[in-house]
Structure 1
Amino acid sequence: MRSCILLFASRFTLQNGECKANAQKLLRRQNGLWISKANPSMKQDMTQIPLARRSPIPPDSCNLASAIEIVGDRWTLLILRAALYGVRRFDDFQAELSCPRTVLSGRLKSLVDAGLLTKRPYKAPGKRARPEYTLSAMGLSLRPILIGLTQWGDAWLGAGEPPPISFTRAGTKAAIRAAFVDSDGREVRPDQIRTVIRG
Protein backbone atom coordinates (compact mmCIF):
# COMPACT_ATOMS: atom_id res chain seq x y z
CA MET A 1 0.00 0.00 0.00
CA ARG A 2 1.45 3.36 -1.00
CA SER A 3 1.25 5.64 1.97
CA CYS A 4 1.66 9.34 2.43
CA ILE A 5 2.13 10.11 6.10
CA LEU A 6 2.72 13.43 7.81
CA LEU A 7 3.79 12.73 11.38
CA PHE A 8 3.69 15.82 13.57
CA ALA A 9 6.17 14.64 16.20
CA SER A 10 9.67 15.52 17.36
CA ARG A 11 10.81 14.79 13.82
CA PHE A 12 9.07 15.10 10.47
CA THR A 13 8.54 11.79 8.64
CA LEU A 14 7.34 11.64 5.04
CA GLN A 15 6.91 8.59 2.85
CA ASN A 16 6.65 9.00 -0.92
CA GLY A 17 8.69 11.74 -2.65
CA GLU A 18 5.67 13.26 -4.39
CA CYS A 19 3.92 13.60 -1.07
CA LYS A 20 6.96 15.29 0.48
CA ALA A 21 7.03 17.86 -2.31
CA ASN A 22 3.33 18.58 -1.88
CA ALA A 23 3.68 18.90 1.89
CA GLN A 24 6.52 21.39 1.51
CA LYS A 25 4.23 23.53 -0.65
CA LEU A 26 1.58 23.56 2.08
CA LEU A 27 3.58 23.79 5.30
CA ARG A 28 6.55 25.65 6.69
CA ARG A 29 8.50 24.93 9.85
CA GLN A 30 9.02 27.66 12.45
CA ASN A 31 9.98 27.47 16.14
CA GLY A 32 8.94 23.86 16.54
CA LEU A 33 5.61 24.33 14.73
CA TRP A 34 4.27 23.27 11.35
CA ILE A 35 2.41 26.29 9.96
CA SER A 36 -0.01 26.27 7.03
CA LYS A 37 1.31 28.53 4.27
CA ALA A 38 -2.23 29.14 3.03
CA ASN A 39 -3.60 30.01 6.46
CA PRO A 40 -0.83 30.98 8.93
CA SER A 41 -3.26 30.99 11.86
CA MET A 42 -3.31 27.18 11.62
CA LYS A 43 -0.35 25.75 13.53
CA GLN A 44 0.56 22.26 14.73
CA ASP A 45 2.88 21.61 17.67
CA MET A 46 5.47 19.07 16.49
CA THR A 47 5.84 17.58 19.97
CA GLN A 48 2.13 17.03 20.59
CA ILE A 49 2.35 13.38 19.51
CA PRO A 50 5.16 11.40 21.19
CA LEU A 51 7.77 9.93 18.89
CA ALA A 52 7.20 6.24 18.15
CA ARG A 53 9.27 3.76 16.15
CA ARG A 54 6.18 1.89 15.00
CA SER A 55 2.38 1.94 15.28
CA PRO A 56 0.80 0.22 18.30
CA ILE A 57 -0.74 -2.45 16.03
CA PRO A 58 0.43 -3.74 12.63
CA PRO A 59 -1.37 -2.45 9.52
CA ASP A 60 -2.84 -5.88 8.72
CA SER A 61 -4.69 -5.78 12.07
CA CYS A 62 -5.86 -2.17 11.77
CA ASN A 63 -9.27 -1.20 10.41
CA LEU A 64 -7.94 2.24 9.52
CA ALA A 65 -5.39 0.60 7.22
CA SER A 66 -8.16 -1.58 5.76
CA ALA A 67 -10.32 1.49 5.12
CA ILE A 68 -7.42 3.28 3.44
CA GLU A 69 -6.99 0.31 1.12
CA ILE A 70 -10.57 0.88 -0.09
CA VAL A 71 -10.93 4.68 -0.13
CA GLY A 72 -7.37 6.03 0.05
CA ASP A 73 -6.80 6.32 -3.69
CA ARG A 74 -7.12 9.85 -5.15
CA TRP A 75 -9.61 8.92 -7.87
CA THR A 76 -11.68 6.89 -5.42
CA LEU A 77 -12.02 9.83 -3.03
CA LEU A 78 -12.92 12.18 -5.88
CA ILE A 79 -15.59 9.74 -7.09
CA LEU A 80 -17.04 9.53 -3.57
CA ARG A 81 -16.97 13.32 -3.32
CA ALA A 82 -18.86 13.64 -6.61
CA ALA A 83 -21.36 10.98 -5.52
CA LEU A 84 -21.89 12.85 -2.26
CA TYR A 85 -22.92 15.90 -4.30
CA GLY A 86 -25.31 13.86 -6.45
CA VAL A 87 -23.32 12.78 -9.52
CA ARG A 88 -24.58 9.34 -10.59
CA ARG A 89 -23.81 8.56 -14.21
CA PHE A 90 -20.57 7.42 -15.81
CA ASP A 91 -20.34 10.23 -18.36
CA ASP A 92 -21.10 12.80 -15.66
CA PHE A 93 -18.37 11.41 -13.40
CA GLN A 94 -15.97 11.48 -16.34
CA ALA A 95 -16.85 15.08 -17.25
CA GLU A 96 -16.64 16.19 -13.61
CA LEU A 97 -13.30 14.56 -12.84
CA SER A 98 -11.54 14.36 -16.23
CA CYS A 99 -10.61 10.85 -15.16
CA PRO A 100 -9.42 8.38 -17.84
CA ARG A 101 -12.39 6.22 -18.74
CA THR A 102 -10.61 2.95 -18.04
CA VAL A 103 -9.52 4.21 -14.61
CA LEU A 104 -13.01 5.47 -13.83
CA SER A 105 -14.58 2.18 -14.86
CA GLY A 106 -12.19 0.26 -12.62
CA ARG A 107 -12.72 2.52 -9.61
CA LEU A 108 -16.52 2.40 -9.95
CA LYS A 109 -16.42 -1.39 -10.13
CA SER A 110 -14.18 -1.53 -7.05
CA LEU A 111 -16.53 0.75 -5.10
CA VAL A 112 -19.53 -1.37 -6.08
CA ASP A 113 -17.68 -4.56 -5.12
CA ALA A 114 -16.69 -3.00 -1.77
CA GLY A 115 -20.31 -2.09 -1.04
CA LEU A 116 -19.87 1.70 -1.09
CA LEU A 117 -21.81 2.29 -4.31
CA THR A 118 -24.96 0.67 -5.63
CA LYS A 119 -25.20 0.10 -9.39
CA ARG A 120 -28.58 0.07 -11.08
CA PRO A 121 -29.83 0.68 -14.63
CA TYR A 122 -31.52 3.84 -15.82
CA LYS A 123 -32.96 4.62 -19.24
CA ALA A 124 -33.39 8.11 -20.63
CA PRO A 125 -36.21 8.54 -23.16
CA GLY A 126 -35.06 7.30 -26.55
CA LYS A 127 -31.75 6.04 -25.18
CA ARG A 128 -30.45 2.60 -24.29
CA ALA A 129 -30.28 1.55 -20.67
CA ARG A 130 -27.12 2.53 -18.82
CA PRO A 131 -25.95 2.11 -15.23
CA GLU A 132 -26.02 4.78 -12.58
CA TYR A 133 -24.18 4.73 -9.28
CA THR A 134 -25.55 5.88 -5.94
CA LEU A 135 -24.06 5.80 -2.47
CA SER A 136 -25.13 2.77 -0.45
CA ALA A 137 -25.82 2.99 3.29
CA MET A 138 -22.17 2.08 3.79
CA GLY A 139 -21.12 4.84 1.40
CA LEU A 140 -23.42 7.41 2.99
CA SER A 141 -21.88 6.64 6.37
CA LEU A 142 -18.67 8.21 5.02
CA ARG A 143 -20.39 11.60 4.88
CA PRO A 144 -19.13 12.78 8.32
CA ILE A 145 -15.58 11.79 7.31
CA LEU A 146 -15.79 13.59 3.96
CA ILE A 147 -17.31 16.66 5.61
CA GLY A 148 -14.55 16.57 8.23
CA LEU A 149 -11.93 16.34 5.47
CA THR A 150 -13.59 19.27 3.68
CA GLN A 151 -13.50 21.38 6.83
CA TRP A 152 -9.88 20.38 7.44
CA GLY A 153 -9.09 21.66 3.94
CA ASP A 154 -11.00 24.88 4.64
CA ALA A 155 -8.98 25.46 7.81
CA TRP A 156 -5.52 24.52 6.59
CA LEU A 157 -5.60 25.19 2.85
CA GLY A 158 -8.20 27.92 2.43
CA ALA A 159 -5.91 30.97 2.81
CA GLY A 160 -8.34 32.40 5.35
CA GLU A 161 -11.05 32.82 2.71
CA PRO A 162 -14.68 31.87 3.43
CA PRO A 163 -15.23 28.23 2.41
CA PRO A 164 -16.98 27.75 -0.95
CA ILE A 165 -19.33 25.16 0.58
CA SER A 166 -20.84 25.01 4.05
CA PHE A 167 -22.99 22.39 5.74
CA THR A 168 -26.16 23.06 7.73
CA ARG A 169 -28.76 21.12 9.66
CA ALA A 170 -31.81 20.37 7.52
CA GLY A 171 -34.79 22.45 8.55
CA THR A 172 -32.92 24.89 10.79
CA LYS A 173 -30.01 26.07 8.60
CA ALA A 174 -27.79 25.94 11.67
CA ALA A 175 -24.16 25.47 10.64
CA ILE A 176 -22.62 22.10 11.49
CA ARG A 177 -19.03 20.95 11.79
CA ALA A 178 -17.33 17.61 12.24
CA ALA A 179 -16.35 16.95 15.85
CA PHE A 180 -15.75 14.14 18.33
CA VAL A 181 -18.03 13.64 21.32
CA ASP A 182 -17.64 11.25 24.24
CA SER A 183 -20.25 8.83 25.57
CA ASP A 184 -21.72 11.65 27.69
CA GLY A 185 -22.24 13.85 24.62
CA ARG A 186 -19.44 16.28 25.47
CA GLU A 187 -17.23 17.56 22.67
CA VAL A 188 -13.65 16.29 22.70
CA ARG A 189 -10.80 18.33 21.23
CA PRO A 190 -8.24 16.50 19.06
CA ASP A 191 -5.54 17.01 21.71
CA GLN A 192 -7.79 15.30 24.30
CA ILE A 193 -8.07 12.04 22.34
CA ARG A 194 -6.12 9.04 23.61
CA THR A 195 -5.61 5.72 21.83
CA VAL A 196 -6.49 2.60 23.82
CA ILE A 197 -5.23 -0.76 22.58
CA ARG A 198 -7.41 -3.78 23.33
CA GLY A 199 -5.72 -6.58 25.16
Structure 2
Amino acid sequence: MASPRSTRPATEHACSIHRSLDLLGEKWSLLIIRNALRGQSRFSEFRDELGIPSDVLTARLGTLVEAGVLERRSYREEGARERFSYHLTERGRSLKLVLIALQQWSDEYNPFPGGVVSVVQEVGTGRHASLALVSDDGDLLDEAAVEIARGPAARTW
Protein backbone atom coordinates (compact mmCIF):
# COMPACT_ATOMS: atom_id res chain seq x y z
CA MET A 1 0.00 0.00 0.00
CA ALA A 2 1.34 3.45 -0.95
CA SER A 3 2.03 5.97 1.77
CA PRO A 4 0.08 9.27 1.70
CA ARG A 5 3.31 11.08 0.78
CA SER A 6 3.94 8.98 -2.31
CA THR A 7 0.46 9.63 -3.74
CA ARG A 8 0.88 13.42 -3.72
CA PRO A 9 2.53 15.29 -6.57
CA ALA A 10 6.27 15.74 -6.02
CA THR A 11 5.82 19.54 -5.97
CA GLU A 12 3.17 19.51 -3.24
CA HIS A 13 4.42 20.06 0.29
CA ALA A 14 2.52 19.53 3.51
CA CYS A 15 4.02 22.66 5.11
CA SER A 16 1.92 25.73 4.31
CA ILE A 17 4.98 27.99 4.49
CA HIS A 18 6.78 25.77 1.97
CA ARG A 19 3.77 25.81 -0.39
CA SER A 20 3.54 29.61 -0.11
CA LEU A 21 7.22 29.98 -0.94
CA ASP A 22 6.83 27.68 -3.94
CA LEU A 23 4.42 30.24 -5.36
CA LEU A 24 5.59 33.55 -3.88
CA GLY A 25 9.20 33.00 -2.84
CA GLU A 26 10.71 34.73 -5.86
CA LYS A 27 11.22 38.46 -5.12
CA TRP A 28 9.61 39.70 -8.32
CA SER A 29 6.30 38.02 -7.45
CA LEU A 30 6.01 39.90 -4.16
CA LEU A 31 7.08 43.19 -5.76
CA ILE A 32 4.45 42.78 -8.50
CA ILE A 33 1.82 42.16 -5.82
CA ARG A 34 3.05 45.21 -3.86
CA ASN A 35 2.73 47.40 -6.93
CA ALA A 36 -0.68 45.95 -7.76
CA LEU A 37 -1.78 46.86 -4.22
CA ARG A 38 -0.60 50.40 -5.03
CA GLY A 39 -2.87 50.47 -8.08
CA GLN A 40 -0.68 49.34 -10.96
CA SER A 41 -2.21 46.90 -13.40
CA ARG A 42 -0.46 47.21 -16.75
CA PHE A 43 2.56 45.28 -17.96
CA SER A 44 4.43 48.48 -18.85
CA GLU A 45 3.77 49.96 -15.39
CA PHE A 46 5.22 46.91 -13.65
CA ARG A 47 8.19 46.74 -16.04
CA ASP A 48 9.05 50.42 -15.82
CA GLU A 49 8.53 50.85 -12.07
CA LEU A 50 10.29 47.63 -11.03
CA GLY A 51 13.00 47.53 -13.68
CA ILE A 52 12.17 43.87 -14.24
CA PRO A 53 13.15 42.20 -17.53
CA SER A 54 10.12 41.64 -19.78
CA ASP A 55 10.63 37.87 -20.01
CA VAL A 56 10.80 37.54 -16.23
CA LEU A 57 7.72 39.75 -15.81
CA THR A 58 5.79 37.66 -18.33
CA ALA A 59 6.68 34.48 -16.45
CA ARG A 60 5.83 35.92 -13.00
CA LEU A 61 2.50 37.35 -14.20
CA GLY A 62 1.63 33.97 -15.73
CA THR A 63 2.40 32.17 -12.48
CA LEU A 64 0.36 34.64 -10.43
CA VAL A 65 -2.60 34.41 -12.83
CA GLU A 66 -2.45 30.60 -12.83
CA ALA A 67 -2.41 30.62 -9.02
CA GLY A 68 -5.47 32.87 -8.87
CA VAL A 69 -3.57 35.79 -7.29
CA LEU A 70 -4.05 38.02 -10.33
CA GLU A 71 -6.79 38.14 -12.93
CA ARG A 72 -5.92 39.00 -16.53
CA ARG A 73 -8.27 41.39 -18.37
CA SER A 74 -8.03 42.50 -21.98
CA TYR A 75 -8.18 46.14 -23.02
CA ARG A 76 -7.52 48.07 -26.21
CA GLU A 77 -6.56 51.70 -26.46
CA GLU A 78 -7.73 53.47 -29.59
CA GLY A 79 -5.50 52.60 -32.53
CA ALA A 80 -3.50 50.02 -30.59
CA ARG A 81 -3.54 46.25 -30.43
CA GLU A 82 -5.26 44.33 -27.66
CA ARG A 83 -3.28 44.23 -24.42
CA PHE A 84 -3.87 42.81 -20.96
CA SER A 85 -4.03 44.33 -17.52
CA TYR A 86 -3.55 42.41 -14.29
CA HIS A 87 -5.80 42.88 -11.27
CA LEU A 88 -5.61 41.39 -7.80
CA THR A 89 -8.21 38.81 -6.89
CA GLU A 90 -9.43 38.37 -3.32
CA ARG A 91 -6.60 35.85 -2.90
CA GLY A 92 -4.12 38.45 -4.13
CA ARG A 93 -5.49 41.28 -1.98
CA SER A 94 -5.17 39.09 1.11
CA LEU A 95 -1.39 39.04 0.57
CA LYS A 96 -1.34 42.62 1.86
CA LEU A 97 -0.86 41.15 5.34
CA VAL A 98 2.21 39.20 4.20
CA LEU A 99 3.76 42.29 2.65
CA ILE A 100 3.03 44.40 5.73
CA ALA A 101 4.70 41.74 7.90
CA LEU A 102 7.79 41.76 5.66
CA GLN A 103 7.86 45.55 5.69
CA GLN A 104 7.56 45.74 9.48
CA TRP A 105 10.37 43.21 9.88
CA SER A 106 12.67 45.05 7.47
CA ASP A 107 11.94 48.48 8.95
CA GLU A 108 12.93 47.06 12.34
CA TYR A 109 15.88 44.82 11.48
CA ASN A 110 17.11 45.93 8.04
CA PRO A 111 16.15 49.61 7.76
CA PHE A 112 16.91 51.77 4.76
CA PRO A 113 19.45 54.45 5.78
CA GLY A 114 17.41 57.14 4.01
CA GLY A 115 14.31 56.47 6.11
CA VAL A 116 11.00 54.67 5.76
CA VAL A 117 9.95 54.27 2.12
CA SER A 118 6.39 53.01 2.67
CA VAL A 119 4.01 53.59 5.53
CA VAL A 120 1.08 51.47 6.64
CA GLN A 121 -1.85 53.68 7.46
CA GLU A 122 -5.62 53.74 7.72
CA VAL A 123 -7.30 55.00 4.58
CA GLY A 124 -8.95 58.36 5.14
CA THR A 125 -7.40 59.16 8.50
CA GLY A 126 -3.72 58.44 7.88
CA ARG A 127 -3.47 56.81 11.32
CA HIS A 128 -0.48 54.46 11.60
CA ALA A 129 -1.35 50.77 11.50
CA SER A 130 0.69 47.64 12.23
CA LEU A 131 0.16 43.90 12.36
CA ALA A 132 -0.29 42.16 15.68
CA LEU A 133 -0.94 38.65 16.96
CA VAL A 134 -4.43 38.21 18.38
CA SER A 135 -5.98 35.18 20.07
CA ASP A 136 -9.27 33.69 18.91
CA ASP A 137 -10.85 35.60 21.83
CA GLY A 138 -9.48 38.90 20.54
CA ASP A 139 -6.72 39.30 23.12
CA LEU A 140 -3.47 40.93 21.96
CA LEU A 141 -0.66 38.38 22.35
CA ASP A 142 3.03 38.94 23.06
CA GLU A 143 5.09 37.63 20.15
CA ALA A 144 7.41 35.83 22.60
CA ALA A 145 4.41 33.87 23.92
CA VAL A 146 3.48 32.50 20.48
CA GLU A 147 5.08 29.51 18.76
CA ILE A 148 4.79 27.76 15.44
CA ALA A 149 3.95 24.23 16.56
CA ARG A 150 3.35 21.07 14.55
CA GLY A 151 -0.26 20.73 13.44
CA PRO A 152 -2.38 17.60 13.09
CA ALA A 153 -1.18 16.92 9.53
CA ALA A 154 2.54 17.27 10.39
CA ARG A 155 4.69 14.24 9.83
CA THR A 156 8.36 13.54 10.33
CA TRP A 157 9.76 12.83 6.88
Letter in 2 for 1:91: S
Please point out which of 80, 86, 95 is paired with 1:127: 80
In 1, the alpha carbon distance for the partners of 2:73 and 2:13 equals 33
In 2, the alpha carbon distance for the partners of 1:183 and 1:118 equals 32
* Equivalences for residues 31-42 of structure 1 within 5 A: none
Q: CA RMSD in A?
A: 1.8
Given the two structures, how large is their TM-score scaled by the length of structure 1? 0.65
Matched positions, count: 141
Q: Secondary structure at the match of 1:60?
A: coil
* Equivalences for residues 16-35 of structure 1 within 5 A: none
Q: Does 1:85 align with 2:33?
A: no
In 1, the alpha carbon distance for the partners of 2:146 and 2:49 equals 37
Please point out which of 127, 140, 143 is paired with 1:187: 140
Gaps of 5+ in 2: 1-11, 153-157
Of all paired residues, the percent bearing the same amino acid is 33
Q: What residue number does 1:6 align with? A: none
Query: Compared with structure 1, are the counterparts of its residues 167 and 198 closer, same or farther at alpha carbon in structure 2 (3 Å cutoff)?
Result: closer
Structure 1 residue 135: Cα displacement: 0.8
Structure 1 residue 196: Cα displacement: 3.4
Q: What residue number does 1:175 align with? A: 128
Q: Does 1:94 align with 2:47?
A: yes
Letter in 1 for 2:17: L
Please point out which of 6, 15, 23 is paired with 1:70: 23
Q: Which runs of 4+ in 1 moved over 6 A?
A: none
Q: Secondary structure at the match of 2:116?
A: coil
Q: Which has the higher strand share?
A: 1
